[in-house]
Structure 1
Amino acid sequence: MISHLDRRNNRSLDSLNFFLADVRDGLGPYLAIYLLAVHHWDPASIGVVMTLAGIAALVTQTPAGALVDSSRAKRALVIIAALLVTVSCLLLPFISSFSLVALTQALSAAAASIFAPAISAITLGITGPRAFTRRTGRNETFNHAGNACAALLAGLFAYLFGPVAVFYLMAVMALASVIAVLFVSAEAIDHDVARGLQPGDQSHQPSGFKVLLSNRPLLMFALCCALFHLANAAMLPLVSQKLAQANLHMATPLTSACIVAAQLVMVPMALLAGAKADVWGRKPLLLAGFLILPLRGLLYTFSDDPYWLVAVQLLDGVGAGLFGALFPVMVKDLTLGSGHFNVSLGALTTAFGLGAALSNGLAGFVVEAAGYSAAFLTLAAIAGAAFLLLLIGVPETLQRTEQFESAAVMGQT
């Protein structure tokens, strides 16, 4: 029977994932629109600022995971990071110099690196390994619902009050996440389990890279993730550019429509992954998510019609929804018993972040040389390679959780 404390923790995690959804992903295209429309920055300067923010996120992901592994104040880490993001958002309307804007965005990106490993650690520390899959699916469900809601509000507020309204929206959501995490019971978090250890096992100390270099399935999965995001990250920006070419005035609303549509599809996909990954296994669901990506890249080449492009973007909800829900589950499975769950999560996030960072540059060069269809086909080919590598090189990991749970039960008897 679910206790009052369990219900409170569940609702607090639901709220935390909902409000952090947009905060975790950063300002992204909204910042570019603001700098272009309000301060009349040139595209090169906008690109450099976003690149610097991306680099800050990349270099801090693995240290953030190590910090979460070693910390017994995981809620405080979320609160500090959320407050830093809030300050960065509230400062933006009052600054316009390149250096200050770059500094705020780099600081915000570095702070946001804490969120993914901290949420996964808090979740694992509360639920334990076996219940982690279903709870992670629920986390992702509320994350996607929060993203959809934030995108709708951002589009509405930007239309009514201008692009600057997005910054205040993100600041409010960051502050709401602080309130949500305060309602998570600190006593409910087992910090040994949150690192991937058995309860009370403190024989392992967090280590940055040893677990990665000695774990071949984890390395293969990292490569799959990097290729997936190398193929995926540039697709929506390319679609946005095509929409802008067709109708500049409607580009922002249609881009928001793409984001909202995909996020709404991600909600049932995350629920499906959470409910069935312990029954069907992780790999069939992951393969389905990876297979969608080359199909999507191919379909984008069929038509430039805005409604077709938005409709195809719905498939992003299938691929990203399954990947987002299963990514922390796979890392948990592959690192059980090591005490390195969160640093591994950070390192693999760095890997796919690097793929995402390179994606737009690669696509841009291909568009310049051969056009948009060639860029979509190139990304589709990379996605196909990621699918084949996952199929051949990464094992099913469900059995690892079952064996770990059995060993934990035997150790307690």
Structure 2
Amino acid sequence: MASRRSTRGLDWLNFFVADMQTGFGPFVAVYLTAQGWTEFEVGMALSIGTLTTVLSQLPAGAMVDSTPHKRAAALVALLAIPASALLLAIWPTGLPVIASEILHGVASCVLAPAIAAISLALVGRAALGERLGRNARYAAVGNGLAAAALGAAGTYLSGASVFWLTAILAIPSLVALVFIRSEDLRPSLPAAERREGPSLRGLLDLLRLRGVVVFAICCGLFTLANAAMLPLAGAEVTRNAGEEANLIIAACIVLPQFVVALISPWMGRLAERRGRRIALLLGFGALPLRGLLLALVDDPLVLVLVQALDGISAAVLGILLPLLAADLTQGSNRFNLCIGVFGLAVGIGGTLSTTVAGAVASWLGPGAAFAMLGVAGLLSFLLVLLALPETAPLGRRAGEVTA
């Protein structure tokens, strides 16, 4: 059983990593818009980061699977993220911003599977759902608190201060990683079963599984709908609200993260007791509703309230993506490669989302862009409803698992 020190270290690692990651995404859109970048230029810059993720997900997943040094992989990523934040803070011009997005994209697609691998190695597959719910709760609290602090810094200090603070938050993240003891991390498989060679060779085997293919498509459609919603809303708020834009964006992040923190443990238990699909339907169903409402409202207060729906979707995807990967790779050493497949789909969806939504907003207006995103979200919900098989082991459903 994992020591209390390692368990707490993983808790706080999720907390402070979320703090750092909050400085990217919507805050980048607000920052670059304030620097005079157009919607299309902002969309292209964000898309470069997600394109980097597309190219890096599978190698990153295979690397994390193949190395016994999960903490070292997380360490390298934790050092790269503050470096990318500093590039944004110091040089908010073309090439440095592109370099920052590339560096952040690579680091993020290593860090996410590394933390998932550490979680699996710490608690085992049987307790993974509960652990992922706990990860999501700490990440949500960290994200919400960081959004409030970074929003205030961007409003009352400068836009660049958001990224200076992001870089500083790497320090407690590294301390938390040190607290996770290597002797508490057990292999996900006995040594006798780990004879597959480099896990990237198992990609074709993964793609023969219906659950992997269907959920990868669901992830792509989900992120196509989701990725551009808040950056697009943030660009509109920046034009309409002026100096208060950073505070409004911060509120749009804080409220969903409060929802994530509130419901994540319950979602993890629901997925274990009642199966994965019911939890997925709740999260994926909230997405098209959010897109529809964002297309209809322009009041900043209502915008913040609508963003609460993002908390439901974020909690579900954050927990279910690695949980389905664990289900679908039971008995193999391809857990992180499967996460990479899903992450690749997420990256493709995100790349298309920010670029296409930015173009549609420029040509037809933000209302049309939100409507387009909502339709993509509806398609992802229907695919979960009609095509995704249940992946939870039978013994873990219908109340057979203790809390």
User: Is TM more than 0.5 here?
Assistant: yes
Describe the SS at the equivalent of 2:166.
helix
Distance of aligned partners of 1:49 and 1:343 in 2 relative to their CA distance in 1, 3 Å threshold: same
Pair 1:276 & 2:264 matched: no
| 1:198-209 matched pairs, under 5 angstroms | 198=190, 200-208=192-200, 209=203
Distance in 2 (CA, whole Å) between partners of 1:296 and 1:41 is 27
Partner of 2:258: 264
Distance of aligned partners of 1:296 and 1:30 in 2 relative to their CA distance in 1, 3 Å threshold: closer
Partner of 1:12: 9
Distance of aligned partners of 1:325 and 1:105 in 2 relative to their CA distance in 1, 3 Å threshold: same
Distance in 1 (CA, whole Å) between partners of 2:176 and 2:10 is 7
Structure 1 contact 333–400 (Cα < 8 Å) conserved: no
Deviation at 1:218, TM superposition (A): 0.5
**TM-score in terms of structure 1 length:** 0.89
Distance in 2 (CA, whole Å) between partners of 1:36 and 1:358 is 20
* Greater relative contact order, per chain length (Cα 8 Å cut-off, separation 6+): 2
Describe the SS at the equivalent of 1:388.
helix
- Matched-pair identity in %: 38
Give unpaired runs (5+ residues) of structure 1: 404-413
Deviation at 1:97, TM superposition (A): 5.1
Larger mean Cα displacement after TM superposition, 88-97 or 5-14: 88-97
* Corresponding residue to 2:76 among 80, 97, 110: 80
Distance of aligned partners of 1:298 and 1:58 in 2 relative to their CA distance in 1, 3 Å threshold: same
Deviation at 1:91, TM superposition (A): 4.5
Paired letter, 2:297: S
Partner of 1:186: 182
* Corresponding residue to 2:60 among 39, 58, 64: 64
Structure 1 contact 148–264 (Cα < 8 Å) conserved: yes
Partner of 2:243: 249
Larger mean Cα displacement after TM superposition, 236-245 or 211-220: 236-245
| 1:24-43 matched pairs, under 5 angstroms | 24=21, 27-37=24-34, 40=36
Distance in 2 (CA, whole Å) between partners of 1:228 and 1:22 is 23
Distance in 1 (CA, whole Å) between partners of 2:253 and 2:217 is 26
Across the aligned residues of Structure 1 and Structure 2, the Cα RMSD in angstroms comes to: 2.3
**TM-score in terms of structure 2 length:** 0.91
Distance in 2 (CA, whole Å) between partners of 1:305 and 1:160 is 23
Partner of 1:340: 334
Ranges of 4+ aligned residues in structure 1 off by more than 6 Å: none
Pair 1:136 & 2:132 matched: yes
Give unpaired runs (5+ residues) of structure 2: 398-403
Partner of 1:212: 206
Distance of aligned partners of 1:382 and 1:229 in 2 relative to their CA distance in 1, 3 Å threshold: same
Partner of 1:103: 99
Describe the SS at the equivalent of 2:307.
helix
Aligned residue pairs, count: 395
Partner of 1:387: 381
Describe the SS at the equivalent of 2:126.
helix
Larger mean Cα displacement after TM superposition, 138-147 or 164-173: 164-173
Describe the SS at the equivalent of 1:377.
helix
1:128-154 Cα shifts (integer Å, max 9, x gaps): 111000001100111111111111110
Partner of 2:219: 225
Describe the SS at the equivalent of 1:248.
helix
Partner of 1:330: 324
Distance in 1 (CA, whole Å) between partners of 2:265 and 2:237 is 31
Distance in 2 (CA, whole Å) between partners of 1:31 and 1:140 is 23
Describe the SS at the equivalent of 1:330.
helix
